[in-house]
Structure 1
Amino acid sequence: MSIHPERPLIIQSDRSMFVEVQNPMYDQVREKITLFAELVKSPEYIHTYRMTPLSLWNAAASGITAEQILESLHQYSKFQVPSHIETEIREYISRFGLLSFEKINGRLVCKTKDPEILKEIMAYRSLKNYFLEEIDHFTVVIDESARGVLKQELIKLGYPVQDLAGYQQGEHLPIALLPQTLSGRPFQLRDYQKQAIDSFYASGSIYGGSGVLVLPCGSGKTIIGIGIMAEIKSETLILTTNTTSVRQWIREILDKTSLTKEQVGEYSGNLKEVKPVTVATYQILTHRSSGQSEFTHMGLFQQRNWGLIIYDEVHLLPAPVFRFTANIQAKRRVGLTATLVREDLKEEEVFSLIGPKKYDVPWLQMENEGWIAEALCTEIRLPLSKEWKEEYLIAPKRQRYRIASTNPLKIEGLKKILNKHQGDSILIIGQYLDQLENIARELQVPFITGKVKQDEREVIYQRFKNGEIKILVVSKVANFAIDLPDAKVAIQVSGTFGSRQEEAQRLGRILRPKQEGNQAYFYTLVSDQTIDQEYAMKRQLFLIEQGYQYKIEEHDLL
């Protein structure tokens, strides 16, 4: 067996992989394996990746073959790739498309390349009622209304469905992109935005029409959504995270398309407009008067003949919306996100109900091309005072995290960073409201929480954009979907345990290109040698997978 000690990759029998960070080939191998594997751990010298069924199916849906994956593994592996790993990769990749949904003579059918698999799945008692008539050993008619449910069930059995059954056109709506914005600035799609749109739309064929587009914060995912609307030209329902985001979508649509105010509606806690293009919040859709009541506003999915549904920040899609999405599989559906990571582990639901990943561009590639700001990430480790440490050590585990996160010395560390960035636009972001309130009071700067009324928030955001306010303290409401283009520095004083998606979203707040220099700074303050530090490492996983490196600084403030 040949051994190549100069290579950076070791492949384990459980489909996990170790990558040497200090190896000169590290960047090359990371770029290749992130196409079909997920980062699991990222200590200083060795990173651990794992190939999962879903990571391999997403690769297959993107057009990556088993041979291309194996070529990468052979190219960078120190040792021979275990033969059973090669077999498993080929097996998992081949499963995508082994079952497909298609339309034949107006009927929805499930087709297979292997009659034994069809026989196997039809034997499941829980699935029997969905199969209506066997046409031949390769084809069976299925219940049209079960299109989504069957996809959910089959992926759990290890058979991801390739849905080629096509889509309803929806009510026609002429939509054109404008050559210039309302303010007179030239407007056109960037090359990668066109590529993302083309990969989803696929010239209107059955191979397009459902899927997820993964791009960094600040890369213009809203513009991509608008570009898709202009291709499909039908009434559209857009679902997003909060009222701020709803209004941003509406502003962008009116600024860059031929649509008028009469054609675009807001459906939120404040307004209930249903127009040819309607932008709604996830929160309003999942509202109900009690835990046992019906969802008050889910009827929005059927209120018009939508031809397209856009799920903004699809990684945050609430579980009840999945259930309704299962019933509308004949509608074109696109998910927009910076990360496919879901902390509730429902990535399979996104794959089966919204669609597989259709486009993914590495964050550092966008940075190198100047489309997003260059970000320097720094983790600053601060000690606990003697009294604080004594309280930390005797506290229960969950309480320990709050104690370490709200370490009073973080305010001193914060002030050092602020002195370094005087004059810059700075966001201070955290998890605990009392901690943030203390910081805002100490610095005498505005503080935005979920309790601040929407109109008041927008006034403060606008003053920040205009440069009237240089420092803004924000709670979790700023994790996503706020447009603060000139924010240059983000300082994270506390976070949601090990949330990788939150880390990505918070960095994303400062990634829009800068007018002067294209540099952004992302700081995380953690309490040294505590659970706060452990969770910080977990939060950083997604960004490290994208190629970002965290500089570690230790500040002794005692």
Structure 2
Amino acid sequence: MSTDKPLVIQSDKTLLLDVHSPFAQECRDSITAFSELVKSPEHVHTFLLTPLSLWNANAAGMTTEDIMGRLRTWSRYDIPEPVSYFITDISARFGSFVMTDIPDDADHYLLTVTIPRYAKEISSHKTVSSLLFPRGNDTFLLNRYARGEVKLKLIKLGFPVDDRIPLKKGFPVPMNLRQQTLSGKDFSIRDYQEAAARSLLGDRGPGTGYGTIVLPCGAGKTIVGMDVMSLLQIRTLILTTNVSAVHQWIREILDKMDIPPEDVGEYTGAKKEIKPVTVCTYQVVTWRPDKEGVFPHMSLLREGNWGLIIYDEVHMLPAPVFKVTAELQAVHRVGLTATLIREDGREDEVFSLVGPKRFDVPWSEMEKQGWIARAYCIEVKVPLPHDLELTYAIAGKREKHRVASENPIKMDVLDELLSRHADDYILIIGQYVDQLKQIARKYGFPLITGSTANTRRDDLYAAFRSGGERVLVVSKVANFAIDLPDASIAIQVSGTFGSRQEEAQRLGRILRPKAKSSFFYSLVTRYSSEEEFSENRQKFLAEQGYTYKIEAYEQ
């Protein structure tokens, strides 16, 4: 035993990290490769070993002994036997179900189970056995169209599938990254971006060409996607979150790739172009005229003859797209995200259908290397006015959150922060449109919400990038896939119900590399439900190694 070591491992598979240890940051970076942060109060942070966290580590090349070795390095006490057994048992499941092609069989694939008791177990589950045809004691046939569904059913039972069926080559489309952008600036891909793209493609053999890449906002996930495109040079569909993001992808592709403009298409509500490289919104492919009707634009995925599909912000992948993704298992595919956290808990479906995590770099490491801005996260505690205390006390849960979020004293705090950062580029972010309208009216700042026309949004983003506007007031429509490189201050006046995913995206808006530090302020009403929700969002920041400072606002 060494009391200098920062980690205490408990039998319930939790890992307790002493944040005051001089080795705390090094330990955190080591264990986040195979564990998930659960809570992060002042002195001890709790991580949890889960099947998915272990399988993502296994998919990235970590063995059981690698994981055990890291735990032995940092653990203050002996590793409990139940934890050792759990890691060994769960990690052994990765690679025990292998899906392969069958030469000269155009209708079936082969599923081989390397551990006999697992083969018996899945045979007893009707949801899976109905899709499988026994070929021997440890092998099964499955119809080719059931490839994704079988993978999905098995992971729900706790068995990840190592899919080693070769992917289709796809229709060739010549395109390469430029050495100079269209504007004449020198352009070169960063080392970690190149490593991320190559981690997805591996040796181009079976079991490669699909997966998820996790990089901080501002680290250039779009560049990684374009590098994958240049390496594969095949017909590509890019799915992203909104029309502004579509236009941003198209601008980046035309600026940094030597592909003719007529070969790049936009598929949105305003345009329906299908080109060798097509950029589309999730909203369009999941639109349908009524709740019971079909999705008329889903055929874009099924019938586009794509060789590569890029799922931008894959943590936002809508449920209907999962079903089609299950059918598109022969296609190269990559998920891009700053966080694997999904508020609906469907991370296992991303793992099975898009692919496991292939590349991940801690945010704090990117900050040390200067690839993203140094950020300071500050929560400002704001008192509730006396005349709203009764209103808050008798309100229902959802209304309580709104009363706290729209606390009028936050306007006084906003006055001070705007004065403090008068020379900076600032984003004021909120959940409630009425509150945002009030802020926009008071200061004369431009406002972007869900009802703002796409052309107007693009114009305002462009004005902010060019310096024509220094402050934007934005709703959650600006959370995702928007590049505003000069933004250095984010002031969150209200948020959703404790979303770690949202916190990651909002922080990401100010992380583009720049000479000065960035500041992320969250205005939270003291002694309210906002405090409860903010604790959950802080988990993400602590997981990435950020310190969350608390300030009290006094009138």
**TM-score over 0.5 (shorter chain):** yes
SS of equivalent to 1:384:
coil
Aligned-partner Cα distance in 2 for 1:72–1:518: 35
Q: Structure 1, residues 130-166: CA drift from partner, whole Å, max 9, x if none?
A: 22350x4332221111100000000011110011011
Q: Structure 1, residues 445-500: CA drift from partner, whole Å, max 9, x if none?
A: 11111111011111111111121211110011111111111111000011011100
Q: Structure 1, residues 275-296: CA drift from partner, whole Å, max 9, x if none?
A: 1111000000100011100012
Q: One-letter code of the match for 2:416?
A: K
Aligned-partner Cα distance in 1 for 2:448–2:115: 57
Q: How does 1:528-547 map to 2 (within 5 A)?
A: 528-547=526-545
Alignment correspondent of 2:502: 502
Aligned-partner Cα distance in 2 for 1:429–1:348: 31
Aligned-partner Cα distance in 1 for 2:360–2:45: 21
Q: How does 1:89-488 map to 2 (within 5 A)?
A: 89-107=87-105, 108-134=109-135, 136-488=136-488
Aligned-partner Cα distance in 1 for 2:117–2:469: 66
Q: Pick from 67, 72, 75: which aligns with 1:74?
A: 72
Aligned-partner Cα distance in 2 for 1:39–1:91: 22
Aligned-partner Cα distance in 1 for 2:471–2:301: 40
- The Cα shift of 1:69 comes to 1.5
Aligned-partner Cα distance in 1 for 2:325–2:129: 22
Alignment correspondent of 2:546: 548
Given that residues 133 and 142 in structure 1 are in contact (C-alpha distance below 8 angstroms), is that contact kept between their aligned partners in structure 2?
no
- The Cα shift of 1:373 comes to 0.8
Given that residues 302 and 328 in structure 2 are in contact (C-alpha distance below 8 angstroms), is that contact kept between their aligned partners in structure 1?
no
Given that residues 449 and 477 in structure 2 are in contact (C-alpha distance below 8 angstroms), is that contact kept between their aligned partners in structure 1?
yes
Q: One-letter code of the match for 1:293?
A: G
Task: Compute the RMSD of aligned alpha carbons.
Answer: 1.2
**Which deviates more from structure 2 when the two are superposed, residues 18-27 or residues 55-64?**
18-27
SS of equivalent to 2:378:
strand
TM-score between both structures, scaled by the size of structure 1:
0.97
Alignment correspondent of 2:520: 522
Q: How does 1:51-66 map to 2 (within 5 A)?
A: 51-66=49-64
Alignment correspondent of 1:18: 16
Q: Unpaired runs of 5+ in structure 2?
A: none
Q: One-letter code of the match for 1:128?
A: S
Q: One-letter code of the match for 1:290?
A: D
* CA shift in 2, pair 1:466/1:111, >3 Å: same
Q: Structure 1, residues 176-227: CA drift from partner, whole Å, max 9, x if none?
A: 1111111111112110011001100113211311100000011111111011
Q: Structure 1, residues 65-85: CA drift from partner, whole Å, max 9, x if none?
A: 111222222222222211111
Aligned-partner Cα distance in 1 for 2:545–2:339: 14
- The Cα shift of 1:388 comes to 1.6
Q: One-letter code of the match for 2:470?
A: K
Q: One-letter code of the match for 2:356?
A: P
Alignment correspondent of 1:511: 511
TM-score between both structures, scaled by the size of structure 2:
0.98
Given that residues 11 and 81 in structure 2 are in contact (C-alpha distance below 8 angstroms), is that contact kept between their aligned partners in structure 1?
no
Alignment correspondent of 1:86: 84
Aligned-partner Cα distance in 2 for 1:128–1:74: 40
SS of equivalent to 2:381:
strand
SS of equivalent to 2:95:
coil
Q: One-letter code of the match for 2:286?
A: T
Q: One-letter code of the match for 1:119?
A: K
Given that residues 165 and 207 in structure 2 are in contact (C-alpha distance below 8 angstroms), is that contact kept between their aligned partners in structure 1?
no
**Which deviates more from structure 2 when the two are superposed, residues 485-494 or residues 101-110?**
101-110
Aligned-partner Cα distance in 2 for 1:233–1:132: 37
Q: Unpaired runs of 5+ in structure 1?
A: none
Aligned-partner Cα distance in 2 for 1:242–1:354: 20
Q: How does 1:30-41 map to 2 (within 5 A)?
A: 30-41=28-39
Q: One-letter code of the match for 2:127?
A: S
- The Cα shift of 1:119 comes to 3.1
Identical columns (%): 50
SS of equivalent to 1:126:
helix
Given that residues 314 and 335 in structure 2 are in contact (C-alpha distance below 8 angstroms), is that contact kept between their aligned partners in structure 1?
yes
Given that residues 265 and 273 in structure 2 are in contact (C-alpha distance below 8 angstroms), is that contact kept between their aligned partners in structure 1?
yes
Aligned-partner Cα distance in 2 for 1:125–1:314: 30
Q: One-letter code of the match for 1:265?
A: G
- The Cα shift of 1:120 comes to 2.6
Q: Structure 1, residues 342-368: CA drift from partner, whole Å, max 9, x if none?
A: 011000010000000000011111111
SS of equivalent to 2:155:
helix
Aligned-partner Cα distance in 2 for 1:87–1:455: 57
SS of equivalent to 1:459:
helix
- The Cα shift of 1:239 comes to 0.3
SS of equivalent to 1:259:
coil
SS of equivalent to 1:494:
coil
Aligned-partner Cα distance in 1 for 2:149–2:210: 16
Aligned-partner Cα distance in 2 for 1:358–1:462: 33
Aligned-partner Cα distance in 2 for 1:435–1:304: 43
Given that residues 245 and 482 in structure 1 are in contact (C-alpha distance below 8 angstroms), is that contact kept between their aligned partners in structure 2?
yes
Aligned-partner Cα distance in 2 for 1:86–1:463: 56
SS of equivalent to 1:345:
coil
Aligned-partner Cα distance in 1 for 2:407–2:298: 43
SS of equivalent to 2:411:
helix
Q: One-letter code of the match for 1:326?
A: A
Aligned-partner Cα distance in 1 for 2:49–2:160: 16
Q: Structure 1, residues 387-407: CA drift from partner, whole Å, max 9, x if none?
A: 122221221222111111111
Alignment correspondent of 1:29: 27
Aligned-partner Cα distance in 2 for 1:422–1:300: 47
Aligned-partner Cα distance in 1 for 2:250–2:87: 44
SS of equivalent to 2:126:
coil
Aligned-partner Cα distance in 2 for 1:213–1:221: 8
Q: One-letter code of the match for 1:527?
A: T
Given that residues 382 and 553 in structure 2 are in contact (C-alpha distance below 8 angstroms), is that contact kept between their aligned partners in structure 1?
yes
Aligned-partner Cα distance in 2 for 1:471–1:188: 31
Given that residues 382 and 523 in structure 2 are in contact (C-alpha distance below 8 angstroms), is that contact kept between their aligned partners in structure 1?
yes
- The Cα shift of 1:301 comes to 1.1
- The Cα shift of 1:26 comes to 1.1
Q: One-letter code of the match for 1:58?
A: N
Aligned-partner Cα distance in 2 for 1:286–1:420: 44
SS of equivalent to 1:253:
helix
* CA shift in 2, pair 1:334/1:95, >3 Å: same
Q: One-letter code of the match for 1:394?
A: I
- The Cα shift of 1:530 comes to 1.4
Q: One-letter code of the match for 1:344?
A: D
Q: One-letter code of the match for 1:460?
A: L
Q: Structure 1, residues 358-385: CA drift from partner, whole Å, max 9, x if none?
A: 0001111111111111111111111111
Aligned-partner Cα distance in 2 for 1:448–1:271: 22
SS of equivalent to 1:252:
helix
